[in-house]
Amino acid sequence: MSKILATIAQRLGLGVLTLFVVSLVIAGMLELLPGDFCETILGQSATVETVNACRKENGFDQPFVFRYADWLSGFATLDMGKSLANKRDIAELISVRLSNTLFLAGFTAAIAVPLALFLGVLAALYRYSLYDRFVNVFTLTSISFPEFFVAYILVLLLSVMTVGENPIGPNGPWFPAMASVSEDTSFGERLYLVFLPALTLTLVVVAHMMRMTRAAIINLLASPYIEMARLKGIKNSRIIVKHALPNALAPIINVIAINLAYLIVGVVVVEVVFNYPGLGKIFVDHVKFRDVPVVQASAMIFAATYILLNLTADILSIVTNPRLMHPR
């Protein structure tokens, strides 16, 4: 227990430091971008007087250090401020978008994690077979393409080329090309609308988890206790599922946690392609307007999520492998 508590304390300390560095980097990069919010929102027809008045109203006449310190002190008290573009409270603006992103990530994880474990176990069970080679080639091919390319291919195959063939709707495609959801969208309809984005993310992340599962299980198959189980006449499938897989959970959990973190912080491209109203989409939209408070708040949420998932992976690795709780 002391090992777990020490790990949690260490990771939380490093996480807070990482969040501070992330906030500083994001603020510095936005400061270095040409133009600012006032020039962007007022357009080319704005006069010098209106631009200066806008900057004074929003605090851009202050030095960068003072503006950053003021934002950081507010964020430390969970006060994210207000959006410069629409004057809405940022916490209210982000909460709905964050829930949409979490829904998409959860739906993808519900498909990708069991699928990756199943494919990985089968690949280890029938390693070097035609099935093993086909799965490896297919998953490596899917992960080699960028997300937007996979998304557009799926839109072409399952949306554009299937117009008029949908058994549910008379003239619509199998799946919509735009995942336009709202607060009033029912759960079943939401699953249908986000299927293509979830499938895109699944094809991107399943290869990592599948190959790690396969490698971890194959690495354990040469262990003495596995050889003893084989000498007892236990079936190979039972050896892998009952004996090898539980002992291979530590590396598998780590790679699953990393991919789950990617599902939340790396969905920006997918959300933009499918016009999905998630946190990544609002992040991109407000970068265009140089809306610094919204961009910084979104980046901090992404960073905090990634850190928490990695912390969870470390703790679960220690729990599933008790040897890590004792010094070597």
| CATH at residue 301 | 1.10.3720.10
Tokens of 279: 């946190």
Q: Is residue 273 part of a domain?
A: yes
Q: Is residue 50 part of a domain?
A: no
Express as a percent the part of the chain with pLDDT over 70.
Answer: 92
Task: Give the pLDDT score at 171.
Answer: 63
Task: Give the pLDDT score at 110.
Answer: 92
Q: Can you state the angle between helices 195-220 and 147-155, rounded to 10 degrees?
A: 120
**CA distance linking residue 296 with residue 298, whole number of Å:** 5
Beta bridge pairs of residue 82: 89
Domain count, the chain: 1
DSSP state letter for 59 = T
Q: Is residue 231 part of a domain?
A: yes
Domain around 255: 2-33+80-325
Q: Is residue 189 part of a domain?
A: yes
**CA distance linking residue 274 with residue 318, whole number of Å:** 39
Average pLDDT rounded to a whole number, residues 124-132? 86
Q: Is residue 167 part of a domain?
A: yes
**Residue 222 CB burial class (10 angstroms; 0-12, 13-18, ≥19):** exposed
**CA distance linking residue 303 with residue 320, whole number of Å:** 26
Average pLDDT rounded to a whole number, residues 95-108? 90
Query: For 50-66, how does the pLDDT look when each residue is reduced to its tens digit (9 = 90+)?
Result: 878 887 877 777 888 88
Confidence of residue 166 (pLDDT cuts 50, 70, 90): low
Q: Is residue 297 part of a domain?
A: yes
Task: Give the pLDDT score at 326.
Answer: 59
Q: Is residue 95 part of a domain?
A: yes
C-beta separation of 213 from 121 below 8 A: yes
Average pLDDT, the chain: 82
Q: Give how far Cα 286 sits from Cα of 29, 75, 77, Å.
A: 14, 18, 23
Task: Give the pLDDT score at 195.
Answer: 92
Q: Is residue 235 part of a domain?
A: yes
Question: Which region among 32-41, 162-171, 177-186, 303-312 has the lowest average model confidence (pLDDT)?
Answer: 162-171
